[in-house]
Structure 1
């Protein structure tokens, strides 16, 4: 018995220990802070409110036990909605409130639902609630247990996921919209060249539907399948292909030239997925390129023809200049000889000579204006723009134009500068423009009228105005003012003119970056103005100019006599040079009619100066110069070009090949004599330096 009793005692102890353990576990679970446990009686009044419920809802147990039901801490609107849904589900009317929370559980149906709990502070949170009916040992209903968990985190995750899903759908829609709205045919293929997606442009290009295209080989839709397949391989090898030309063929046979551009694409793990390609229709561009190429050929041909015509025009003008200047040289040269010869011409002869000279110099001016205009239009006019003094140029112009003004009884008024004024321009061309404007102001003025020149600053430019008191111009005449050869109805007047001077002036000013204009009032007069870019005064070194050579006085008897060789094929020109040289007792003249003979005479006579025409029969002047330069005996003799080739490029070329000076026909006597004196001085200095002897005596 004692053993039995002991055994029963031990069993009882173990049973009690198990009960205590189970009770401790149940208490621990019931009082867990991670979920709320709310127990009610059959009427719904809260009997137990655990720690988890206190933490979640903010109420103390004493605040709710035996005072309220779980319905009082639930969202009332959700309660109404739940009652409505349950009534429809179970086909029985259910009252909103606690009954709606426990109705299923009261009938033995497992019930888990979502609702919003309202905290003591009025805030709310989503909860998942599991409801269980509580029964005693006799299976009688004694209450309900509501276990709830905070569903905020899951709800937030679900909301974020929903937003993410929506963004993903939006992005997919946006991406698809971009693909479909693209003007190019877009497509993707797998690495083997099988189409995996296309846009509507690809459908239009091939004449096939999207379903028909996906899964088909890319190469099947081109006239050259091998070249198309090679394009995919090229992309896979190089990761990119641009402007690869293919010809697509549609189901109906239509062919379209496309520019194929493609690149490889990968997933997020950098695993190759295939090729993304764009095919742009360039059929029209190909036609345009071909048409443009043909047009370019035509343009090049037209440009070449224009250049040839321009060259022929320049050659013609140069030739015309020479042909006109040669006889004009004789006319003006002999007229000057007669005018200054001994005995002096009679008054009637003097009047005739004056007419010859006036007409000759006017003809020369006309030739120069035509050549200037042709040079400007051909773009071959070269300008030397630098800082130049308006004070000096206007002073030169006043001296040059004063005789014309005096002869026409016109009063001139030039500005007095308080300080020097400088503009950036070509001095020679500015003087040419000013003289033209002054000459016109005098020529078309009234007898006893006046011309006023003024200057003023306008921004970064200097405006030079030429005001006359002439008849003025009507608006319709002003519109025609700068047209070539248009004299505005003055053709029958006594005033000479060509209608070219203003055109040349306008284009010269514009080439120098300036502007020219006019304002005129009928019966009052006109104001022509020129605007040039103002600049700073040049440095001191730039202002120092070498003195121009002046003509030497004839040498008295007994001084050295120098030898001049003139190589000229025109008898009249040669006679003119002979008579000019005859006026100098210190000079003797030798002559030759062609270049070869001129070189021979130079070798034997060793003259001090050589006058050389350029256009000579056989050996021309430039070739003769080169022959003389090769021999030590003649290499040091100064050679002066005397030619009717008066184009600026002719003069530049002549000085470049080695002429000491370049004189253009018609000859100006003072300039001619000054050039000979300068050449003689150069030859004497060179000879003395070479031989180390005193100056040479008479030959």
Structure 2
């Protein structure tokens, strides 16, 4: 307490000293009144050193002077400062000398107490500074390790019978903590046997890290775990640290997967080269044999014609292989461009079927084409779209046993247009579905005899993606068939472009039920007359409202609709027709004076199948009407 009070400010110590003097005087007064003697005032002297040490020299001197005066007042004559008797004078003098010495001694003790107090304060300050330095260092340590973003941890061994039985987590940075399942709760202080990163093996951690806790050293190893997103790999670098083990670990999954992909690509490259050699030898063999036949004397014209046919067929097969390779190269370099035009899907389907017809007929497959009632047109590269669809039909025929069934279906809605090829062939195992669109991948390695370089599906996928669509595959499993689907966005849908004018065909047109809607009475009646001369059944109305009303009791196959109608416009009428189940499949033909690209976009969005500008070419109109009811 002396050291602590010695550190008080001077003003505070002085106030405490005066208070202490008052307490001493009151005590002395009470004692003197009881004892009625002259010596009790010496109690003041006993308090002198304590007051001086605690509250300073001034307080001690004040108490000494007060004590002298107090003693004089109580000596004979009482109540006067005069001291007559010699004994009293000696006592008073002795008190004065001893009190002065006590004040001086107290002053020295106060200095010692102040020095001790300063030393104690310095010690506390140093301890606080060291503690703050330690906290700052730990904070910098945490910030540095957390900012690195790499998992870091420290484990300490737990000994049983002199051997390391388990490891205890002593430190984790934020990146390391994220490796643990949240349900693990508090990690620090837990055993690695019970709490560890999700999917990590406790025995592996113990076997690889425990030796480093027993001796100085360093180790690096890989850990394979089964995470939520599949297999993951971590590379761990660990080192000894005064009986503990520090370790960094990094997620090297991308690197491992890249290495696996490179290895897989290298394997596929070798397979591709072997397959390429096989595919080139197939046509080369008959070409060489035909050359030898042609060299023989006496070759008949029939045999020579057969040789020419074989040469053409086999050279075409080689050209097809080379074309696929060139297309892949162009796509890889970004050099392949699409030549888009408005094309009828019916025409694309016909071309694709022609591509696959030889193998379809050769294996006696049944081909079923399912398409919507309405004609369907898309803006696409006709050649490339037919190439992709033909490739899907060819694959379906290849991998379906003879006499199989292949269904080509076309569906369309507000979101997309889908062309799917479904077969009942050998199917695809689930674990191979994700790889079939990769370059040089074979649908089934056991069917190399079917031919192909393993680039057809990869090429098809890229071509469809260039159209803004996607190519998907599904299968219920081995020997359960498969289905490949081309998904084109709804934005690809378009109205038919005007066809070049030509002479009217001599054959009679099929009779159709037609509704003509035009607010120009003369134009509507004239068009009706032309259509009736062609043998069609025609109803005529002159406004959008009439058209909607008449459709309640009349079911036309074709509607010729003017856009610029008063009241309800032709665009709105078309939308209502498409929204009504009874009329949603009717063929809609726009007859309008608006012919800009943006006008065609509006009619396509509204659901029109054809867009003709006035005056309408009758031959083109007849072909559009004839397409009603035909497969799209």
Which TM-score applies when normalising by structure 1? 0.28
Instruction: Kindly name which structure, 1 or 2, has the bigger radius of gyration based on alpha carbons.
Output: 1
Greater helix percent: which structure?
Answer: 2
Higher relative contact order (CA 8 A, sep 6+): 2
